[in-house]
Homo-oligomer: A and B are copies of this chain.
Protein backbone atom coordinates (compact mmCIF):
# COMPACT_ATOMS: atom_id res chain seq x y z
CA UNK A 1 0.00 0.00 0.00
CA UNK A 2 1.41 3.36 -1.02
CA UNK A 3 0.51 6.35 1.14
CA UNK A 4 1.15 9.98 0.20
CA UNK A 5 1.40 12.95 2.56
CA UNK A 6 0.25 16.24 1.02
CA UNK A 7 1.73 19.01 3.17
CA UNK A 8 0.13 22.07 1.60
CA UNK A 9 -0.48 25.75 2.22
CA UNK A 10 -4.20 26.47 2.40
CA UNK A 11 -5.91 29.85 2.54
CA UNK A 12 -8.75 30.33 5.03
CA UNK A 13 -12.12 30.50 3.28
CA UNK A 14 -10.61 30.36 -0.20
CA UNK A 15 -12.61 27.29 -1.22
CA UNK A 16 -11.86 27.55 -4.90
CA UNK A 17 -8.09 27.58 -4.42
CA UNK A 18 -8.08 25.01 -1.60
CA UNK A 19 -10.34 22.55 -3.46
CA UNK A 20 -8.32 22.87 -6.64
CA UNK A 21 -5.10 22.26 -4.74
CA UNK A 22 -6.54 19.14 -3.09
CA UNK A 23 -7.90 17.75 -6.36
CA UNK A 24 -4.59 18.44 -8.13
CA UNK A 25 -2.77 16.40 -5.51
CA UNK A 26 -5.35 13.61 -5.72
CA UNK A 27 -4.70 13.45 -9.46
CA UNK A 28 -0.95 13.62 -8.92
CA UNK A 29 -1.22 10.76 -6.43
CA UNK A 30 -3.16 8.65 -8.91
CA UNK A 31 -0.50 9.25 -11.56
CA UNK A 32 2.22 8.17 -9.15
CA UNK A 33 0.52 4.92 -8.16
CA UNK A 34 -0.47 6.08 -4.71
CA UNK A 35 -3.29 4.16 -3.01
CA UNK A 36 -4.14 6.71 -0.33
CA UNK A 37 -3.28 10.41 -0.14
CA UNK A 38 -3.62 12.27 3.15
CA UNK A 39 -4.31 16.00 3.57
CA UNK A 40 -4.14 18.02 6.83
CA UNK A 41 -6.80 18.94 9.38
CA UNK A 42 -9.53 21.31 8.11
CA UNK A 43 -7.72 21.49 4.77
CA UNK A 44 -10.91 22.30 2.90
CA UNK A 45 -11.48 25.62 4.67
CA UNK A 46 -7.99 26.39 6.03
CA UNK A 47 -6.99 26.58 9.68
CA UNK A 48 -8.04 28.36 11.86
CA UNK A 49 -11.39 29.30 10.27
CA UNK A 50 -12.50 30.88 13.59
CA UNK A 51 -16.04 32.26 13.66
CA UNK A 52 -16.60 31.69 9.94
CA UNK A 53 -17.57 28.24 11.26
CA UNK A 54 -20.70 29.83 12.73
CA UNK A 55 -22.01 30.76 9.28
CA UNK A 56 -24.21 28.14 7.65
CA UNK A 57 -23.13 29.48 4.27
CA UNK A 58 -19.49 28.77 5.13
CA UNK A 59 -20.32 25.19 6.12
CA UNK A 60 -22.37 24.76 2.95
CA UNK A 61 -19.31 25.77 0.92
CA UNK A 62 -17.22 23.23 2.84
CA UNK A 63 -19.78 20.57 1.97
CA UNK A 64 -19.82 21.60 -1.67
CA UNK A 65 -16.03 21.30 -1.79
CA UNK A 66 -16.28 17.85 -0.20
CA UNK A 67 -18.63 16.68 -2.99
CA UNK A 68 -16.19 17.86 -5.63
CA UNK A 69 -13.28 16.19 -3.88
CA UNK A 70 -15.19 12.92 -3.49
CA UNK A 71 -15.77 12.74 -7.25
CA UNK A 72 -12.04 13.06 -7.87
CA UNK A 73 -11.28 10.01 -5.72
CA UNK A 74 -11.65 7.37 -8.42
CA UNK A 75 -8.69 5.01 -8.49
CA UNK A 76 -7.16 6.54 -5.39
CA UNK A 77 -8.45 7.01 -1.85
CA UNK A 78 -8.02 10.20 0.15
CA UNK A 79 -8.31 11.55 3.67
CA UNK A 80 -9.22 15.23 3.97
CA UNK A 81 -9.96 17.40 7.02
CA UNK A 82 -13.23 19.39 7.05
CA UNK A 83 -15.97 20.43 9.47
CA UNK A 84 -19.12 18.30 9.55
CA UNK A 85 -22.55 19.02 10.99
CA UNK A 86 -23.51 17.30 14.25
CA UNK A 87 -26.84 15.60 13.48
CA UNK A 88 -27.89 15.49 17.14
CA UNK A 89 -29.67 18.45 18.68
CA UNK A 90 -27.55 18.22 21.85
CA UNK A 91 -24.01 19.51 21.90
CA UNK A 92 -22.16 21.90 19.63
CA UNK A 93 -23.31 22.13 16.02
CA UNK A 94 -20.15 20.83 14.36
CA UNK A 95 -17.47 18.19 14.48
CA UNK A 96 -13.86 18.68 13.43
CA UNK A 97 -13.66 15.71 11.07
CA UNK A 98 -11.55 13.63 8.71
CA UNK A 99 -13.35 12.44 5.57
CA UNK A 100 -12.27 9.13 4.07
CA UNK A 101 -13.03 8.99 0.32
CA UNK A 102 -12.92 5.85 -1.82
CA UNK A 103 -14.38 5.03 -5.23
CA UNK A 104 -15.81 8.51 -5.67
CA UNK A 105 -17.80 8.57 -2.45
CA UNK A 106 -17.48 9.40 1.25
CA UNK A 107 -16.85 6.01 2.85
CA UNK A 108 -16.36 7.08 6.46
CA UNK A 109 -16.13 10.18 8.63
CA UNK A 110 -13.99 10.26 11.77
CA UNK A 111 -14.39 13.07 14.32
CA UNK A 112 -11.78 14.67 16.53
CA UNK A 113 -11.99 13.59 20.17
CA UNK A 114 -9.58 15.87 21.98
CA UNK A 115 -10.38 19.51 21.28
CA UNK A 116 -7.63 21.95 22.26
CA UNK A 117 -8.98 24.98 24.08
CA UNK A 118 -5.94 26.85 25.39
CA UNK A 119 -3.42 29.40 24.15
CA UNK A 120 -4.37 30.15 20.51
CA UNK A 121 -6.88 27.27 20.31
CA UNK A 122 -10.64 27.64 20.76
CA UNK A 123 -11.97 24.36 19.41
CA UNK A 124 -14.65 23.92 22.08
CA UNK A 125 -16.12 27.14 20.78
CA UNK A 126 -17.26 25.31 17.66
CA UNK A 127 -16.92 21.57 17.95
CA UNK A 128 -18.47 18.69 19.83
CA UNK A 129 -15.94 16.04 20.87
CA UNK A 130 -16.16 12.62 19.28
CA UNK A 131 -17.36 9.71 21.40
CA UNK A 132 -17.47 6.79 18.91
CA UNK A 133 -14.34 4.97 17.82
CA UNK A 134 -14.03 2.96 14.63
CA UNK A 135 -10.95 2.18 12.57
CA UNK A 136 -11.07 2.82 8.83
CA UNK A 137 -10.81 -0.38 6.75
CA UNK A 138 -8.76 0.02 3.58
CA UNK A 139 -7.17 -2.59 1.28
CA UNK A 140 -7.43 -5.26 3.95
CA UNK A 141 -5.79 -3.10 6.63
CA UNK A 142 -7.27 -1.10 9.48
CA UNK A 143 -6.29 2.55 9.91
CA UNK A 144 -6.37 4.28 13.31
CA UNK A 145 -7.33 7.69 11.95
CA UNK A 146 -6.80 10.55 14.40
CA UNK A 147 -6.82 14.33 14.25
CA UNK A 148 -3.97 16.41 15.69
CA UNK A 149 -4.61 16.80 19.46
CA UNK A 150 -6.00 13.23 19.56
CA UNK A 151 -2.39 12.04 19.92
CA UNK A 152 -1.17 14.91 22.09
CA UNK A 153 -2.50 14.51 25.60
CA UNK A 154 0.45 12.50 26.85
CA UNK A 155 2.05 14.90 29.27
CA UNK A 156 1.94 14.52 33.01
CA UNK A 157 -0.56 17.35 33.16
CA UNK A 158 -3.33 15.61 31.25
CA UNK A 159 -5.99 18.01 30.06
CA UNK A 160 -8.52 15.41 28.96
CA UNK A 161 -10.29 12.42 30.43
CA UNK A 162 -10.04 9.89 27.60
CA UNK A 163 -7.41 8.79 25.14
CA UNK A 164 -8.63 7.94 21.63
CA UNK A 165 -5.80 5.51 20.82
CA UNK A 166 -6.73 3.39 23.82
CA UNK A 167 -10.15 2.93 22.21
CA UNK A 168 -8.89 2.36 18.67
CA UNK A 169 -6.15 -0.09 19.65
CA UNK A 170 -8.81 -2.57 20.71
CA UNK A 171 -9.74 -2.96 17.04
CA UNK A 172 -6.15 -3.95 16.22
CA UNK A 173 -5.29 -1.28 13.67
CA UNK A 174 -2.29 -1.76 11.36
CA UNK A 175 -1.04 1.82 11.43
CA UNK A 176 -1.89 5.31 12.62
CA UNK A 177 -2.67 8.36 10.50
CA UNK A 178 -2.74 11.77 12.14
CA UNK A 179 -3.92 14.84 10.22
CA UNK A 180 -2.83 18.03 11.95
CA UNK A 181 -2.88 21.81 12.05
CA UNK A 182 -0.09 22.30 14.51
CA UNK A 183 1.40 25.78 14.60
CA UNK A 184 5.09 26.52 14.91
CA UNK A 185 6.88 27.64 18.01
CA UNK A 186 10.60 27.51 18.52
CA UNK A 187 10.81 24.02 20.04
CA UNK A 188 7.65 22.60 18.55
CA UNK A 189 9.45 20.17 16.22
CA UNK A 190 11.03 18.32 19.15
CA UNK A 191 7.77 18.24 21.08
CA UNK A 192 5.95 16.86 18.07
CA UNK A 193 8.47 14.08 17.59
CA UNK A 194 8.47 13.25 21.28
CA UNK A 195 4.68 12.98 21.32
CA UNK A 196 4.50 10.90 18.13
CA UNK A 197 7.39 8.73 19.34
CA UNK A 198 5.51 7.91 22.52
CA UNK A 199 2.43 6.96 20.51
CA UNK A 200 4.21 4.84 17.90
CA UNK A 201 6.43 3.00 20.36
CA UNK A 202 3.67 2.49 22.95
CA UNK A 203 1.22 0.95 20.47
CA UNK A 204 3.92 -0.58 18.26
CA UNK A 205 2.38 1.00 15.15
CA UNK A 206 3.80 3.11 12.31
CA UNK A 207 2.56 6.71 12.21
CA UNK A 208 1.85 8.86 9.13
CA UNK A 209 1.61 12.49 10.21
CA UNK A 210 0.68 15.40 7.93
CA UNK A 211 0.66 19.08 8.90
CA UNK A 212 -0.09 22.36 7.15
CA UNK A 213 2.76 24.44 5.70
CA UNK A 214 2.11 28.17 5.55
CA UNK A 215 1.14 31.12 7.71
CA UNK A 216 -2.32 32.45 8.59
CA UNK A 217 -1.74 35.93 10.05
CA UNK A 218 -0.12 35.21 13.43
CA UNK A 219 0.02 31.42 13.23
CA UNK A 220 2.85 29.88 11.24
CA UNK A 221 2.52 26.24 10.23
CA UNK A 222 5.96 24.78 9.74
CA UNK A 223 5.14 21.53 7.95
CA UNK A 224 7.48 18.87 9.28
CA UNK A 225 5.12 16.08 8.28
CA UNK A 226 6.73 12.74 8.93
CA UNK A 227 6.60 8.98 8.90
CA UNK A 228 7.59 6.96 11.94
CA UNK A 229 8.24 3.25 12.19
CA UNK A 230 6.70 1.12 14.90
CA UNK A 231 9.64 1.79 17.21
CA UNK A 232 8.85 5.49 17.08
CA UNK A 233 11.82 6.44 14.95
CA UNK A 234 11.43 8.98 12.16
CA UNK A 235 12.10 7.23 8.86
CA UNK A 236 11.32 10.21 6.69
CA UNK A 237 10.26 13.79 7.21
CA UNK A 238 8.97 16.35 4.78
CA UNK A 239 10.45 19.81 4.36
CA UNK A 240 9.97 22.55 6.87
CA UNK A 241 8.41 25.94 6.11
CA UNK A 242 7.23 25.05 2.62
CA UNK A 243 4.82 22.80 0.76
CA UNK A 244 5.95 19.24 0.17
CA UNK A 245 4.47 16.02 -1.18
CA UNK A 246 5.95 12.55 -0.73
CA UNK A 247 4.72 8.99 -0.76
CA UNK A 248 5.81 5.90 1.09
CA UNK A 249 5.26 2.17 0.86
CA UNK A 250 3.65 0.88 4.02
CA UNK A 251 5.78 -2.28 4.09
CA UNK A 252 8.93 -0.21 3.75
CA UNK A 253 7.86 2.01 6.66
CA UNK A 254 7.19 -1.02 8.84
CA UNK A 255 10.68 -2.37 8.36
CA UNK A 256 12.63 0.84 7.69
CA UNK A 257 15.53 1.44 9.98
CA UNK A 258 16.02 4.78 11.63
CA UNK A 259 18.61 6.77 9.72
CA UNK A 260 19.27 10.29 10.93
CA UNK A 261 18.56 12.61 8.01
CA UNK A 262 20.29 15.88 7.42
CA UNK A 263 17.04 17.66 8.17
CA UNK A 264 16.50 15.54 11.25
CA UNK A 265 19.90 16.07 12.76
CA UNK A 266 19.50 19.76 12.13
CA UNK A 267 16.52 19.75 14.45
CA UNK A 268 18.27 19.31 17.72
CA UNK A 269 17.79 22.02 20.28
CA UNK A 270 21.01 24.00 19.80
CA UNK A 271 20.39 27.72 20.24
CA UNK A 272 21.68 28.41 16.71
CA UNK A 273 19.16 25.94 15.35
CA UNK A 274 16.36 27.64 17.25
CA UNK A 275 17.36 31.00 15.80
CA UNK A 276 17.57 29.63 12.26
CA UNK A 277 14.10 28.20 12.69
CA UNK A 278 12.70 31.46 14.07
CA UNK A 279 14.27 33.21 11.11
CA UNK A 280 12.63 30.84 8.62
CA UNK A 281 9.30 31.09 10.41
CA UNK A 282 9.34 34.89 10.30
CA UNK A 283 10.16 34.86 6.59
CA UNK A 284 7.23 32.54 5.91
CA UNK A 285 5.01 34.62 8.19
CA UNK A 286 5.76 37.84 6.31
CA UNK A 287 5.51 36.24 2.88
CA UNK A 288 2.16 34.56 3.46
CA UNK A 289 0.65 37.58 5.17
CA UNK A 290 1.34 39.70 2.12
CA UNK A 291 0.34 37.09 -0.42
CA UNK A 292 -2.89 36.16 1.35
CA UNK A 293 -3.82 39.82 1.87
CA UNK A 294 -3.16 40.43 -1.83
CA UNK A 295 -0.25 42.83 -1.29
CA UNK A 296 3.34 42.69 -2.56
CA UNK A 297 5.09 45.69 -1.01
CA UNK A 298 6.18 46.61 2.51
CA UNK A 299 7.22 49.88 4.11
CA UNK A 300 8.87 50.44 7.47
CA UNK A 301 10.66 53.13 9.43
CA UNK A 302 14.43 52.70 9.78
CA UNK A 303 15.55 54.28 13.04
CA UNK A 304 19.16 53.20 12.89
CA UNK A 305 18.45 50.72 15.67
CA UNK A 306 18.64 46.97 15.61
CA UNK A 307 14.91 46.20 15.60
CA UNK A 308 14.08 48.02 12.40
CA UNK A 309 17.31 46.78 10.80
CA UNK A 310 16.38 43.16 11.48
CA UNK A 311 12.81 43.64 10.22
CA UNK A 312 14.11 45.35 7.08
CA UNK A 313 16.45 42.42 6.39
CA UNK A 314 13.67 39.89 7.02
CA UNK A 315 11.24 41.76 4.77
CA UNK A 316 13.75 41.92 1.94
CA UNK A 317 14.40 38.19 2.24
CA UNK A 318 10.64 37.52 2.24
CA UNK A 319 9.48 39.96 -0.42
CA UNK A 320 12.55 40.94 -2.45
CA UNK A 321 14.54 44.19 -2.23
CA UNK A 322 12.42 45.87 -4.90
CA UNK A 323 9.32 45.44 -2.75
CA UNK A 324 10.57 46.92 0.52
CA UNK A 325 10.96 50.62 1.26
CA UNK A 326 12.86 51.75 4.34
CA UNK A 327 12.07 55.27 5.47
CA UNK A 328 14.43 57.28 7.64
CA UNK A 329 12.50 59.91 9.58
CA UNK A 330 15.06 61.95 11.48
CA UNK A 331 14.19 64.54 14.12
CA UNK A 332 16.45 67.03 15.90
CA UNK A 333 17.36 64.27 18.35
CA UNK A 334 18.43 61.78 15.72
CA UNK A 335 22.15 61.15 15.65
CA UNK A 336 24.16 61.16 12.45
CA UNK A 337 24.94 57.49 12.79
CA UNK A 338 21.20 56.68 12.66
CA UNK A 339 21.09 57.83 9.06
CA UNK A 340 24.53 56.53 8.08
CA UNK A 341 23.93 53.09 9.56
CA UNK A 342 20.56 52.77 7.85
CA UNK A 343 22.00 53.80 4.51
CA UNK A 344 24.76 51.24 4.90
CA UNK A 345 22.23 48.56 5.81
CA UNK A 346 20.22 49.35 2.67
CA UNK A 347 23.37 49.22 0.55
CA UNK A 348 24.29 45.83 1.98
CA UNK A 349 20.87 44.50 0.96
CA UNK A 350 20.54 46.44 -2.32
CA UNK A 351 17.43 47.81 -0.66
CA UNK A 352 15.47 50.98 -1.20
CA UNK A 353 15.55 53.79 1.33
CA UNK A 354 14.28 57.36 1.45
CA UNK A 355 14.60 60.15 4.01
CA UNK A 356 11.70 62.28 5.26
CA UNK A 357 12.54 64.71 8.08
CA UNK A 358 9.81 65.16 10.68
CA UNK A 359 10.95 68.22 12.60
CA UNK A 360 8.98 70.87 10.65
CA UNK A 361 5.75 68.96 11.06
CA UNK A 362 6.41 68.27 14.73
CA UNK A 363 7.13 71.94 15.35
CA UNK A 364 4.03 73.12 13.48
CA UNK A 365 1.86 70.71 15.43
CA UNK A 366 3.35 71.66 18.79
CA UNK A 367 2.98 75.38 17.97
CA UNK A 368 -0.67 74.76 17.30
CA UNK A 369 -1.13 72.88 20.56
CA UNK A 370 1.04 75.06 22.72
CA UNK A 371 -1.78 77.40 23.89
CA UNK A 372 -3.53 74.29 25.26
CA UNK A 373 -0.51 72.86 27.11
CA UNK A 374 -0.95 75.29 30.03
CA UNK A 375 2.81 75.86 30.26
CA UNK A 376 3.42 72.34 31.48
CA UNK A 377 7.03 71.26 30.88
CA UNK A 378 7.97 69.33 27.74
CA UNK A 379 8.28 65.57 28.26
CA UNK A 380 6.59 62.36 27.28
CA UNK A 381 3.93 64.19 25.24
CA UNK A 382 6.51 65.73 22.94
CA UNK A 383 8.35 62.39 22.62
CA UNK A 384 5.13 60.66 21.62
CA UNK A 385 4.32 63.37 19.07
CA UNK A 386 7.54 62.56 17.23
CA UNK A 387 6.74 58.85 17.13
CA UNK A 388 3.20 59.57 15.97
CA UNK A 389 4.17 62.02 13.23
CA UNK A 390 6.49 59.31 11.92
CA UNK A 391 3.53 56.92 11.86
CA UNK A 392 1.33 59.42 10.00
CA UNK A 393 4.05 59.82 7.38
CA UNK A 394 4.61 56.10 7.00
CA UNK A 395 0.88 55.49 6.70
CA UNK A 396 0.57 58.29 4.12
CA UNK A 397 3.28 56.68 1.97
CA UNK A 398 1.63 53.32 2.57
CA UNK A 399 -1.77 54.63 1.42
CA UNK A 400 -0.34 56.50 -1.55
CA UNK A 401 1.65 53.62 -2.99
CA UNK A 402 -0.09 50.49 -1.69
CA UNK A 403 2.42 49.36 0.90
CA UNK A 404 1.66 47.49 4.10
CA UNK A 405 3.46 49.05 7.06
CA UNK A 406 5.55 46.57 9.04
CA UNK A 407 5.71 47.03 12.78
CA UNK A 408 9.20 46.74 14.31
CA UNK A 409 8.45 46.52 18.05
CA UNK A 410 10.15 43.66 19.88
CA UNK A 411 8.62 41.52 22.63
CA UNK A 412 10.54 43.21 25.45
CA UNK A 413 9.19 46.63 24.50
CA UNK A 414 5.70 45.32 23.89
CA UNK A 415 5.77 43.64 27.31
CA UNK A 416 6.52 46.76 29.31
CA UNK A 417 4.75 49.24 27.06
CA UNK A 418 7.95 50.95 25.95
CA UNK A 419 6.50 52.23 22.72
CA UNK A 420 4.03 54.83 21.48
CA UNK A 421 0.50 53.73 20.68
CA UNK A 422 -0.41 55.01 17.19
CA UNK A 423 3.31 55.76 16.80
CA UNK A 424 5.96 53.07 16.56
CA UNK A 425 3.32 50.53 17.63
CA UNK A 426 1.55 50.92 14.25
CA UNK A 427 1.65 48.48 11.37
CA UNK A 428 -0.29 45.76 9.59
CA UNK A 429 1.89 42.99 11.02
CA UNK A 430 4.23 42.82 13.98
CA UNK A 431 7.24 40.88 12.71
CA UNK A 432 9.35 40.55 15.87
CA UNK A 433 6.71 41.19 18.52
CA UNK A 434 7.30 37.66 19.83
CA UNK A 435 11.10 38.03 19.89
CA UNK A 436 12.73 39.41 23.03
CA UNK A 437 15.37 42.10 22.54
CA UNK A 438 18.22 39.78 23.50
CA UNK A 439 17.07 37.37 20.80
CA UNK A 440 16.75 40.18 18.25
CA UNK A 441 20.53 40.45 18.59
CA UNK A 442 20.83 36.71 17.94
CA UNK A 443 18.64 37.09 14.86
CA UNK A 444 20.91 39.91 13.66
CA UNK A 445 23.97 37.70 14.14
CA UNK A 446 22.24 34.92 12.25
CA UNK A 447 21.44 37.33 9.40
CA UNK A 448 25.12 38.30 9.40
CA UNK A 449 26.29 34.66 9.51
CA UNK A 450 27.95 34.74 6.08
CA UNK A 451 28.70 38.43 5.61
CA UNK A 452 27.97 41.75 7.28
CA UNK A 453 24.44 42.71 6.36
CA UNK A 454 23.44 44.58 9.47
CA UNK A 455 26.28 47.05 10.09
CA UNK A 456 28.38 46.33 13.14
CA UNK A 457 27.64 49.75 14.59
CA UNK A 458 23.93 48.88 14.80
CA UNK A 459 24.84 45.78 16.79
CA UNK A 460 27.10 47.57 19.24
CA UNK A 461 25.44 50.93 19.93
CA UNK A 462 23.33 51.32 23.06
CA UNK A 463 19.60 50.99 22.31
CA UNK A 464 17.84 54.37 22.17
CA UNK A 465 14.47 55.69 21.05
CA UNK A 466 16.17 59.03 20.21
CA UNK A 467 13.16 61.04 21.30
CA UNK A 468 15.12 63.42 23.56
CA UNK A 469 18.80 64.39 23.82
CA UNK A 470 21.13 61.51 24.69
CA UNK A 471 18.21 59.22 25.56
CA UNK A 472 19.02 55.56 26.21
CA UNK A 473 16.54 52.71 26.72
CA UNK A 474 18.41 51.96 29.94
CA UNK A 475 17.28 55.35 31.34
CA UNK A 476 13.74 53.95 31.63
CA UNK A 477 14.23 50.20 31.57
CA UNK A 478 16.48 47.65 33.23
CA UNK A 479 19.23 46.22 31.03
CA UNK A 480 17.64 43.92 28.49
CA UNK A 481 19.44 40.76 29.63
CA UNK A 482 17.86 41.11 33.08
CA UNK A 483 14.53 42.40 31.78
CA UNK A 484 14.15 39.53 29.33
CA UNK A 485 14.82 36.91 31.99
CA UNK A 486 12.16 38.34 34.29
CA UNK A 487 9.70 38.70 31.40
CA UNK A 488 10.29 35.08 30.38
CA UNK A 489 9.56 33.88 33.90
CA UNK A 490 6.34 35.87 34.03
CA UNK A 491 5.00 35.63 30.48
CA UNK A 492 6.16 32.21 29.28
CA UNK A 493 6.35 30.36 32.62
CA UNK A 494 3.59 32.30 34.40
CA UNK A 495 5.58 32.56 37.63
CA UNK A 496 4.33 34.89 40.34
CA UNK A 497 6.44 37.68 41.87
CA UNK A 498 7.53 35.62 44.90
CA UNK A 499 8.74 32.78 42.69
CA UNK A 500 10.72 35.13 40.44
CA UNK A 501 12.27 37.02 43.33
CA UNK A 502 13.25 33.68 44.89
CA UNK A 503 15.44 33.10 41.83
CA UNK A 504 17.63 35.99 42.93
CA UNK A 505 16.17 38.95 41.07
CA UNK A 506 15.78 42.24 42.91
CA UNK A 507 12.30 42.42 44.39
CA UNK A 508 11.62 46.08 43.57
CA UNK A 509 12.74 45.44 40.01
CA UNK A 510 10.51 42.38 39.63
CA UNK A 511 7.48 44.17 41.01
CA UNK A 512 8.11 47.14 38.73
CA UNK A 513 8.42 44.95 35.63
CA UNK A 514 5.30 42.90 36.39
CA UNK A 515 3.33 46.06 37.03
CA UNK A 516 4.50 47.50 33.71
CA UNK A 517 3.43 44.33 31.90
CA UNK A 518 -0.04 44.36 33.42
CA UNK A 519 -0.78 48.07 33.17
CA UNK A 520 0.17 48.15 29.49
CA UNK A 521 -2.41 45.60 28.44
CA UNK A 522 -4.46 48.45 26.95
CA UNK A 523 -1.65 49.21 24.51
CA UNK A 524 -1.19 45.62 23.37
CA UNK A 525 -4.93 45.32 22.77
CA UNK A 526 -4.56 47.75 19.87
CA UNK A 527 -1.34 46.51 18.32
CA UNK A 528 -1.09 44.53 15.08
CA UNK A 529 -1.15 40.73 14.96
CA UNK A 530 2.19 39.29 16.08
CA UNK A 531 3.96 36.46 14.24
CA UNK A 532 4.01 33.72 16.86
CA UNK A 533 7.34 31.97 17.35
CA UNK A 534 7.20 31.03 21.05
CA UNK A 535 4.63 29.00 22.97
CA UNK A 536 3.26 32.25 24.49
CA UNK A 537 2.98 35.18 22.13
CA UNK A 538 0.96 38.36 22.59
CA UNK A 539 -2.27 38.21 20.65
CA UNK A 540 -5.04 35.63 20.63
CA UNK A 541 -2.99 33.17 22.70
CA UNK A 542 -2.73 35.51 25.68
CA UNK A 543 -5.97 37.05 26.94
CA UNK A 544 -5.72 39.53 29.75
CA UNK A 545 -8.18 41.94 31.33
CA UNK A 546 -7.52 45.59 30.55
CA UNK A 547 -9.16 46.96 33.69
CA UNK A 548 -7.54 44.29 35.88
CA UNK A 549 -5.82 45.34 39.09
CA UNK A 550 -3.49 42.39 39.67
CA UNK A 551 0.17 43.14 40.44
CA UNK A 552 -0.49 46.68 39.29
Contact = CB atoms under 8 A, between A and B. Distances in A.
Contacts of A498: 57
Interface string A140-160: 000000000000000011111
A354 B361 CA distance: 21
A251 interface: no
A284 interface: no
Interface in A226-253: none
Contact of A90 (B161, B396, B497): B161
Contacts of A50: 543-545, 548
Contact of A400 (B13, B124, B373): B373
A426 interface: yes
A284 to B, nearest CB: 13
A299 to B, nearest CB: 11
A419 to B, nearest CB: 13
Interface stretch (A19-27, A73-81, A383-391): A383-391
Interface in A83-135: 89-93, 117-118, 122, 124-125
Interface string A27-65: 000000000000000000010111110111110110000
A499 interface: yes
A176 interface: no
Contact of A57 (B292, B372, B496, B545): B496
A55 B13 contact: no
Given A160-B91, A293-B547, A548-B13, A396 B385 contact: yes
A340 interface: no
Interface stretch (A182-190, A442-450, A453-461, A525-533): A525-533
B549 A14 contact: yes
A516 to B, nearest CB: 15
A342 interface: no
Given A52-B550, A374-B400, A381-B396, 20 more contacts: A11-B549, A12-B548, A13-B551, A46-B548, A49-B545, A50-B548, A55-B494, A57-B496, A60-B496, A89-B157, A89-B158, A90-B160, A125-B543, A216-B547, A360-B367, A381-B399, A384-B396, A389-B392, A526-B526, A540-B543
Interface of A: 11-15, 17, 46, 48-52, 54-58, 60-61, 89-93, 117-118, 122, 124-125, 156-161, 216-217, 288-289, 292-293, 354, 356-358, 360-361, 364-369, 372-374, 376, 380-381, 384-385, 388-389, 391-393, 395-397, 399-401, 421-422, 426, 428, 494-499, 522, 525-529, 540, 542-552
10 contacts: A13-B550, A14-B550, A50-B543, A50-B545, A52-B548, A61-B550, A361-B364, A388-B391, A422-B422, A428-B522
